[in-house]
Amino acid sequence: MFGFGKKSGPAAAGDPPAAKGFFGRLKERLTRTGGWLGDLLPGRAIDAELLDEIETRLLTADVGVEATDRILADLRRRIARNELGDRAALRAALGAVMTDILKPVESPLVIDPSRRPFVVLVVGVNGSGKTTSIGKLAKRLKDDGRKVMLAAGDTFRAAAVEQLTVWGERNDVTVIAQATGADPAAVVFDAMQAATARGADVLLADTAGRLHNQGHLMEELKKVKRVLARLDPAAPHEVLLVLDGSQGQNALAQATTFHASLGVTGLVLTKLDGSARGGVIFAIAEKLKIPLRYIGVGESLEDFGVFNAAEFVDALLDGHTPGVP
């Protein structure tokens, strides 16, 4: 259970007390995968050689050139002002600038109760974790007291409909589906009509995974958006892109293309437990500035949490930094 309380007015689908335990698990996962910078910080002179090594580590972790340059420029300014006299000061400076990059995209999903149903269109490439993220998000929203319905818009894979149906049964929420091969736009259209008729608060619409460079499939998603707009000109109210954090700079390319085609309004970054390369989160934040709603660090419900910039950075920097406050 996520322990959400009902909220008046537009409410964030997140909860700080639950996030604390979640980021404890995040720190454990990052420690298990080796961490980023911890073994560099203790016992090293703070000089140009160390900064070069930090730069290499950041780029290897897919932080991206722009974000890495911003981090290193900040550290060099501090060194020039004699502000980094020890490793604790260096760790604090790193934490501050990294948090500054991520803080603007720290933005929980807000469900506007005046929009019923509030439609969340979930998109992404194959294997990014879309359907699983929908199931976990449905659980969070239902625990928050909202009536949730699911639309099985991935009609290309029979297994996708089955997987979403399992999540629906597990969460006791209705799933609207049609036969394999049906028009995804028709499925989502029917689901929105059903959600409206049944007084649902939120409709989460799954879609087939597609590569960001498959133009005809991106056009299909645009069609889904147009069809939803026939029932509510503001729908979908959220276009949620699910990215695999282990994909590195390819995830940035995906985000860029999906955003240009669909106007992505929020991100979910999954599979951060399987790779130390989740630094693409910084690259996306620096370049695209799309709100980051949730991150995933494992398969269980408890491994899916609301993104918090400061706690994420602390988990990165504290994983292998013994003795540093």
Angle at 4 between CA 135 and CA 115, to 5 degrees: 70
**How does residue 61 score in pLDDT terms, banded at 50, 70 and 90?**
confident
Structural domains in the chain (count): 2
Q: Rounded CA gap, 293 and 112, in Å?
A: 15
Looking at the structure, tell me whether residues 77 and 221 fall in a common domain: no
Q: How far apart are the C-alpha atoms of 165 and 177, rounded to whole Å?
A: 9
The answer to whether position 133 is within a domain reads yes
Comparing 257 with 46, the larger pLDDT belongs to 257
What is the domain range of residue 34?
17-105
Residue 9 lies in a domain: no
Task: Give the model's pLDDT for residue 35.
Answer: 55
Q: Say if residue 190 is in the same domain as residue 210.
A: yes
Q: How confident is the model at residue 217 (pLDDT cuts 50, 70, 90)?
A: confident
Give yes or no for residue 145 having a pLDDT over 90: yes
Is 100 part of a structural domain of the chain? yes
Is the same domain home to 162 and 255?
yes
Q: Give the CATH number of the domain where residue 53 resides.
A: 1.20.120.140
Q: Do residues 168 and 211 share a domain? A: yes
- Identify the domain boundary among 76, 105, 134: 105
Summarize pLDDT for 69-117 with one digit per residue, the tens: 999 999 999 988 888 878 788 889 999 999 999 999 999 999 999 999 9
User: Is residue 233 one of the residues assigned to a domain?
Assistant: yes
Question: For position 248, what pLDDT does the model report?
Answer: 83
Distance CA 55, CA 195 (A): 50
Kindly write down the DSSP assignment for every residue of 126-173, as one continuous string.
TTS-HHHHHHHHHHHHHHTT--EEEEEE--S-HHHHHHHHHHHHHHT-
pLDDT score, position 73: 96
Same structural domain for residues 233 and 247? Answer: yes
**Would you say residue 118 lies in a domain?**
yes
CATH number of the structural domain spanning residue 253 = 3.40.50.300
- Give pLDDT, residue 177: 93
Residues 65, 182, single domain; the answer is: no
Residue 32 pLDDT:
59
For 45, residues 6+ apart whose C-beta sits below 8 A from its C-beta are none
Q: Which among 85, 105, 125 is the end of a domain? A: 105
Q: Output the pTM of the full model.
A: 0.87
Q: Give pLDDT, residue 275.
A: 54
78 shares a domain with 184: no
Return the percent helix, strand and coil in the chain, to nearest 5: 50, 15, 35
- Answer yes or no: do 98 and 215 share one domain: no
Same domain for 178 and 283, yes or no, is: yes
Decide if pLDDT at 67 tops 60: yes
Instruction: Let me know if residue 76 belongs to a domain.
Output: yes
pLDDT band at 223 (very low <50, low <70, confident <90, very high): very high
Which of 90, 105, 120 terminates a domain? The answer is: 105
Q: What is the DSSP string of 54-81?
A: HHHHHHHTT--HHHHHHHHHHHHHHHHT
Average model confidence (pLDDT) for the chain? 84
Is residue 6 in some structural domain?
no
